Amino acid sequence: MQKQDRRTFITTAVVLGTAAAASAMTTMEPKNKKQLTHHVFFWLKNPDSKEDLNKLIEGLKTLEKIPSVKKLHIGVPASTEKRDVVDNSYSASELMFFDDVAGQDVYQAHPIHKKFVENCSHLWEKVIVYDTMEV
């Protein structure tokens, strides 16, 4: 092996080793890292319109393609007991997990998210967002 070749080989091996270590860390992350949750509740302008609800849900499904979105749950009010503290007046909800605040920033600015707002924001009259960081 020429001196130059050997240096290239060592550099490549170090780079590959680092990449493998980084990959292992990424795989382990979801279990150990504290996550940010982004929970959005939507109140439709026409809450009785099944068509508008379906349009909103279809729009929400597109958000899963944004790489920093680690998990997406799209929901509607559950049929749990009606209690004073339970708010079941919303039409649909979107719950996402991010690795950190930066991931949520990337999501907000992402073209898929902007397209969703452009296509669907005429459907809702109110939105409430809760961003929580795991303790």
Name residues contacting a copy of itself, limited to 17-36 (CB under 8 A). Answer: 35-36
Binding a copy of itself (rule: CB under 8 A), the pick from 55, 93, 106, 113 is: 93
The full length of the chain comes to 135
86: contact with a copy of itself by CB under 8 A: yes
Which member of 43, 57, 112, 119 binds a copy of itself (CB under 8 A)?
A: 57
Tell me the sheet residues that pair with 94.
Answer: 40, 74
Instruction: Say how far apart CA 27 and CA 6 lie, in whole Å.
Output: 31
| Stretch binding a copy of itself (CB under 8 A), from 8-16, 21-29, 115-123, 124-132 | 124-132
108 lies in the binding site for a copy of itself (CB under 8 A): yes
Does the footprint of a copy of itself cover residue 109 (CB under 8 A)?
no
Q: Which of 133, 135, 94, 89 is nearest to 113 (CA)?
A: 94
The CB-based long-range contact list for 101-106 (8 Å cut-off, 24+ gap) reads 101/36, 101/133, 102/68, 103/36, 103/68, 103/69, 103/70, 104/36, 104/38, 104/68, 104/131, 106/66, 106/67, 106/68
- Using CB under 8 A as the criterion, what x/- string covers residues 35-54 for binding a copy of itself? xxxxx-x-------------
Enumerate binding residues for a copy of itself (CB under 8 A): 35-39, 41, 57, 73-81, 83, 85-88, 90, 92-93, 95, 101, 104-105, 108, 127-135
